[in-house]
């Protein structure tokens, strides 16, 4: 036993070394996850290569430096706002402003290009005679509350990274251009003129991500989630009064905090414990379920999905659940399969509108029959052998989806359950005008691309990367 | 290298075998996480004991069978509602109904004990002539919308578990008493009488969990999060109209879906992609940060915390972040320390009001100085050696907090940042009336108990349980 385990681990470490280099050219790899082989004594760390694929798509690698503590200061935020180097990412109804002639390139604007009318007022401060308690209600506020949402995203400090080993740049004031996201409201004609002048166009809400660089995709995801949250949460869930933005777009309060609202009682959300004020992030579990041999994976499809596409099962995590519990519940509900051990793999932000995908692997118990009649969410679910998945992921058309496919998925992604499943599909690397599944409606011919976490889970398993020594 | 790794792993597996048995008596262990040692050939699974501590506190072990697909059926829900075996967990302003003379025992009521007035109407259905589209707006609805929130929690199927190996019980209809959570509204006098009659009392919102069994704590956490969400989200964030409950308490829609609202435009939330309708779960990252030797852990304290208490750093995950990114950002913001590799450990629901704690371990980069002046959230942060933590967790007073301590923490847990930190502390196993820290205000004398995920992270590390072969 001991010697075979030994061979097992070494075999993996050697293989991983090769794989890491070749994968590096295919995927965005989180550099900080790479470690050398440490001393392997009894009391020391087990360190080996940890491979992370592009599950970080939409997370940005490296991410913007969010300098979250700067959001509270109107002074600092207004300095960024007025800096000619600052860049603005603009959305209209969730659609990003893109360069017209460069597929996948965000058209970031400067303040000069934008114009004061489109941007709105500077961030406000409290009246000078306000108490320190009252001042909190005005921190980097956007009043009057009817102005278009404006959100500080962070600093692009890639040119002079703030590291502790360098004393040149202070963590308090990272250097580099600031980024904001802005919701395009107001006169449509003005925006039409601006688009004409700057050679921009409103991209597609979902498939614009298609050809974005991973870095741009990270800025896009953060901006989209925050602008969307601000634009949609215009009223207080506690009392129905309007809300206003503060903390440079990262908080919304009931307007009754700063002015009396006619015909309304004092709102309970102005004091006490609640979570109305902060952006929400909805965690979704998505899982690669293996049979007890580890040689088959459970994949399913919904009726509304593009022809031939299967993906990992998925579902929203409910209050009172761990990731592991949620994984077991969802697989039972969707496919009637009981799952034993569950292991976390990776997470991926998914800004449609504000999901956080949590990828797990789980092992099914033996001797079970798939059944779809519990929650009737899936059209089909099957155990697929590793060899079949290997051939699909190595085929050029195995993760290729047409514009029509995306539209089909977008049109359906209007309900809660469809949100879960749409997250199974991410922007494709290739876009043929049309692609016909080679097999029948229920035959597997496509799986999500590697930019989606489901595509990552399937590839990690099919490529034999699951048994890594992934310890600190 | 190869032989020392071999010894290393075997040493752990042997030690783990012993530890698992002894830990079993101390902690609630998720049985399904236990696996034997598998065949360790090159192509097979690496299987070893995986130890999970009681991070599952508030998750319920085993959890209720939520039979989520039953929520859509008014018929099934009303059958449960009228079943004399069904149990109701009642909350008043977030405080659970407890047995008066049994510390830590929830007083579950039957429908008979409750009375029709307190319970409200049965779940409703759509008008018989409604279209199939309209019918969706009435699925297990609670109308008129002014009735007290009522939430279906699930079935306690512990007596006849629904397993695939048994054909006796169908997964569609698990057998056992159903559980609902109810918000106590209406005439206070009636509730006073009921409490008198049934010998109950309203427990403390937070510290009631103190002496609950892990199973009760799971029901409590789910019920509290859902009742709280229903009670607080009375107005539509899109248009400010009232909302109503459907899906037996798991969904809320704008009332304009089912009746015209005077003076309001049609609400955009009645169609299109949004997430207003579903309970929110706010993921919080909480991390055990180790130095490069693995022998020291970074802990911090806020000024408002009980004397001598230090805990893991923590913070809300923001839109556009992975767990790993959020871990690195928070540690930098709070302590000025950069973190390299990050690894997920476990998750824990935390129903105050609706957090999901995500525990990670991370390794700090070398040669850094702690600084607190970035976000100024912590009063102190220090590297503590393993030996000190070992002595504290083995001391009887090392995780003991008085009622006064809890109150201090509760009083402060009214803001977003304090919510993060309050989650560091969970119900204590012991309750001396008063406990005086043995060291000065900034000396470490206490850490969170093992019912809190921070207590778990600290103990896992201090007890040398981090290097397990925790693979599928």
Share of chain A above pLDDT 70, in %: 76
Does B218 contact A320 at a Cβ distance shorter than 8 Å?
A: yes
pLDDT of residue A276: 74
Give a yes or no: residue A413 inside a domain.
Answer: yes
Number of domains within chain A: 3
Query: A306 falls in which pLDDT band (50, 70, 90)?
Result: confident
Same domain? B232 vs B319: no
pLDDT category of residue A163 using cuts at 50, 70 and 90: low
B413 chain-A contacts, CB cut-off 8 A = 273
B470: in domain: no
* B312 plus B259 within the same structural domain: no
Q: Is the pLDDT of residue B25 over 60?
A: no
Kindly list the residues from chain B whose CB atom is less than 8 angstroms away from the CB atom of residue A42.
4, 7-8, 11
Residue A29: strand, helix, or coil: coil
ipTM: 0.79
Facing residue for A347 by CB, picked from B274, B322, B336: B322
Inter-chain CB proximity A229 and B376 less than 8 Å: no
Are B307 and B441 in contact by the 8 Å Cβ rule? The answer is: yes
Q: Calculate ∠ Cα A429-A430-A431, nearest 5°.
A: 130
Q: CA triplet B316, B320, B326: central angle to 5 degrees?
A: 40
Q: State residue A43 phi and psi, 5-degree precision.
A: -100, 5
A233, A345: one domain? no
Percent of chain B with pLDDT over 70: 76
SS3 A268: helix
Q: Which of B237, B270, B303 is the last residue of a domain?
A: B270
Task: Inspect the interface and report whether the beta carbons of B35 and A340 lie closer than 8 Å.
Answer: yes
Average pLDDT, chain A: 79
Residue A22 has pLDDT above 80, yes or no: no
- Mean pLDDT lowest among A354-363, A407-416, B163-172, B267-276: A407-416
Task: Give residue-wise pLDDT tens across range B47-62.
Answer: 222 233 344 688 887 8
Which one of B247, B270, B293 terminates a domain? B270
**Residues A410-423: tens digit of each pLDDT:** 665 555 555 554 44
The C-alpha atoms of residue B158 and residue B64 are separated, in whole angstroms, by 8
Q: Is A322 within the bounds of a domain?
A: yes
Say what the pLDDT of residue A75 is: 96
Name B106's bridge partners: B98
Q: How confident is the model at residue B420 (pLDDT cuts 50, 70, 90)?
A: low
What string of DSSP letters covers B398-461? TT---HHHHHHHHHHTTSHHHHHHHTT----S---S----SS-TTS--B---TTSHHHHHHHHH
Chain B residues whose CB is inside 8 A of the A337 CB are 164
Residues B123 and B256 in one domain: yes
Asked if B222 and A319 come within 8 Å (Cβ–Cβ), the reply is yes
| Mean pLDDT value of segment B128-155 | 94
Distance CA A223, CA A200 (A): 18
DSSP state of B109: B
List the single best residue of B319, B333, B413 to mutate versus A (max A Cβ within 10 A): B319
Confidence category of residue B285, pLDDT binned at 50, 70, 90? very high
* A210 pLDDT higher than 60: yes
Give the residue carrying structure tokens 């969730």.
Answer: A94
Whether residues B318 and A279 touch (CB distance < 8 A) is answered with yes
Say how many C-beta atoms besides its own lie within 10 A of residue A33's C-beta.
18
A44 plus A94 within the same structural domain = no
Average pLDDT for A323-350: 92
What residues contact A217, with CB distance under 8 A and at least 6 apart?
Answer: A57, A58, A60, A209
With respect to residue A185, please indicate whether it lies within any of the assigned structural domains. Answer: yes
Q: For residues B105 and B234, state if they share a domain.
A: yes
Q: pLDDT tens digit string along B360-380?
A: 999 998 888 999 999 999 999
Residues A307 and A456 in one domain: yes
A253 and A305 fall within a common domain: no
Domain membership of residue A382 (yes or no) is yes
Q: Which two tokens stand for residue A38?
A: 């440490």
Query: Looking at the partner chain, which of A236, A341, A472 has a beta carbon nearest the beta carbon of B235?
Result: A236
Chain A: closest CA distance from residue B258 (Å): 18
What count of CB pairs under 8 Å joins A to B?
313
* Statement to judge: residues B207 and B75 lie in one domain: yes
A128 shares its domain with A97: yes
Are the C-beta atoms of residues A449 and A458 closer than 8 Å to each other? no
Tell me whether residue A105 is in a domain: yes
User: Among B93, B322, B328, B334, which would you mutate to test the A interface (most chain A Cβ atoms within 10 Å of its Cβ)?
Assistant: B322
Q: What is the CATH number of the domain that holds A404?
A: 3.90.79.10
Cβ separation of B275 and A275 shorter than 8 Å?
no
Domain end position, chosen among B270, B295, B329: B270
Range of the domain at B418: 282-462
- Verify that A292 and A434 share a domain, yes or no: yes
In chain A, which residue's Cα lies nearest the Cα of B377? A69
- Output the CA–CA distances (angstroms, integers) from residue B353 to A111, A237, B229, in the order listed: 40, 15, 8
Cβ neighbourhood burial of B261 (10 Å; 0-12, 13-18, 19+): middle
Is there a contact between B220 and B211 (Cβ–Cβ < 8 Å)? no
Cβ(B264)–Cβ(B240) under 8 Å?
A: yes
Q: Do the domain assignments include residue B471?
A: no
For residues A313 and A456, state if they share a domain.
yes
Which chain B residue's Cα is nearest to A67? B333
Cα–Cα distance between B215 and B213 in angstroms, integer? Answer: 5
Whether B450 and B53 have beta carbons less than 8 Å apart is answered as yes
Q: pLDDT tier at B450 (50, 70, 90 boundaries)?
A: confident
Give a yes or no: residue A122 inside a domain.
yes
């Amino acid at each position: 036993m001991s010697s075979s385990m030994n061979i097992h681990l070494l075999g993996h470490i050697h293989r991983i070394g090769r794989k890491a280099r070749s994968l590096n050219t295919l995927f965005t790899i989180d550099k900080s996850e790479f470690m050398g082989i440490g001393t392997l004594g009894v009391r020391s760390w087990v360190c080996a290569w940890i491979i992370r694929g592009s599950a970080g798509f939409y997370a940005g690698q490296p991410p913007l430096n969010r300098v979250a503590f700067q959001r509270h200061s109107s002074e600092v935020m207004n300095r960024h706002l007025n800096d000619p180097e600052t860049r603005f990412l603009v959305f209209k109804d969730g659609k990003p402003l893109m360069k017209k002639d460069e597929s996948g390139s965000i058209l970031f604007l400067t303040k000069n290009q934008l114009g004061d009318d489109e941007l709105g007022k500077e961030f406000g401060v409290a009246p000078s005679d306000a108490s320190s308690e009252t001042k909190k209600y005005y921190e980097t506020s956007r009043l009057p509350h009817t102005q278009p949402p404006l959100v500080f995203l962070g600093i692009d400090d890639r040119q002079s990274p703030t590291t502790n080993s360098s004393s040149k740049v202070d963590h308090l004031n990272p250097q580099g251009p600031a980024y904001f996201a802005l919701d395009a409201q107001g006169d449509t004609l003005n925006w039409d003129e601006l688009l004409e002048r700057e050679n921009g166009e409103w991209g597609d809400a979902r498939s614009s991500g298609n050809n974005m660089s991973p870095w741009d995709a990270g800025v896009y995801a953060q901006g989209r989630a925050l602008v969307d949250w601000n634009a949609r949460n215009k009223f207080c869930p506690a009392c129905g009064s309007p809300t206003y933005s503060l903390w440079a777009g990262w908080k919304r309060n009931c307007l009754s905090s700063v002015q009396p609202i006619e015909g309304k009682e004092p709102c309970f959300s102005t004091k006490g414990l609640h979570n109305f004020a902060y952006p929400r992030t909805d965690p979704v579990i998505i899982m690669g379920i293996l049979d007890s041999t580890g040689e088959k994976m459970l994949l399913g499809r919904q009726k509304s999905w593009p022809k031939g596409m299967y993906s990992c099962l998925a579902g929203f995590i409910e209050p009172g659940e761990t990731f592991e519990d949620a994984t077991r519940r969802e697989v039972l509900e969707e496919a009637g399969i009981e799952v034993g051990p569950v292991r976390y793999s990776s997470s991926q932000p998914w800004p449609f509108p504000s999901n956080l995908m949590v990828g797990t692997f789980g092992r099914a118990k033996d001797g079970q029959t798939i059944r779809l009649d519990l929650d009737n969410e899936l059209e089909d679910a099957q155990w697929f052998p590793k060899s079949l998945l290997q051939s699909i992921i190595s085929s050029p058309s195995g993760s290729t989806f047409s514009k029509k496919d995306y539209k089909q998925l977008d049109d359906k992604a209007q309900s809660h359950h469809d949100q879960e499943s749409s997250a199974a599909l991410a922007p494709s690397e290739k876009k043929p005008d049309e692609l016909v599944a080679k097999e029948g409606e229920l035959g597997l011919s496509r799986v999500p691309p590697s930019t989606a976490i489901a595509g990552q889970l399937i590839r990690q398993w099919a490529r034999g990367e699951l048994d890594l020594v992934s310890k600190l």
